[in-house]
């Protein structure tokens, strides 16, 4: 099962599939983000937010054959999830990477993020979690292109007095 229903991810946490417990990725995530393991995530490896998930394709998955492709298609068809695909790109998997890239990006329209190993993958997940936290924390009603209003001057009389000093006056 894809478990495509809503997964509630607490703010700043990562929900990881139980199969990753004890792995290098999990060990390196500990202490950097709050990692919660769950058994019923189905095809998804990690959930970063309610709708963003990570599918991890290891070196062994790539060399073993096309089984991972079915998993990617099933997650992609679960329309309420935005899947990010992390692929281990090593000397062994270089020969497969081009075909995987075409399949994931061009055929499925998903995001593909290559990493060298599980340690690099954990660093990437930490960055993605911090981005999700920033996005969730941002006030959705603010326009980033509007200029910020300056607070009113605390002492307008002192400001006017300082402007009369030669060389300090109004700036151009």
Return the CATH fold of 13-163.
Rossmann fold (3.40.50)
pLDDT under 70 in the chain at which residues? 1-6, 79, 135-148, 169-172
* pLDDT digit string, tens, across residues 4-40: 556 788 888 999 999 999 999 999 998 889 999 998 8
Q: CA 21 to CA 38: how far, in whole Å?
A: 10
Domain definitions of the chain by residue range: 13-163
Enumerate residues 6+ apart whose C-beta is below 8 A from 46: 14, 15, 16, 17, 20, 53, 54, 56, 125
Question: pTM score, two decimals?
Answer: 0.74
């Amino acid at each position: 099962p894809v478990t495509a229903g809503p997964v509630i991810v607490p703010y700043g946490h990562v929900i990881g599939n139980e199969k990753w417990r004890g792995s290098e990725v999990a060990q390196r995530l500990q202490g950097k983000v709050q990692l919660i393991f769950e058994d019923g995530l189905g095809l998804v490896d990690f959930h970063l937010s309610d709708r963003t998930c990570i599918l991890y394709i290891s070196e062994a998955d790539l060399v073993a054959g096309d089984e991972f492709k079915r998993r990617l298609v099933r997650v992609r068809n679960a329309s309420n999830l935005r899947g990010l695909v992390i692929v281990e790109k090593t000397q062994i998997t270089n020969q497969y990477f081009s075909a995987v890239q075409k399949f994931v990006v061009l055929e499925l329209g998903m995001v593909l993020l290559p990493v060298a190993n599980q340690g690099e993958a954990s660093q990437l997940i930490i960055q993605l979690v911090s981005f999700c936290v920033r996005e969730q924390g941002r006030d959705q009603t603010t326009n980033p292109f509007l200029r910020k209003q300056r607070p009113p001057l605390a002492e307008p009389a002192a400001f006017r007095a300082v402007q009369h000093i030669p060389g300090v006056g109004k700036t151009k």
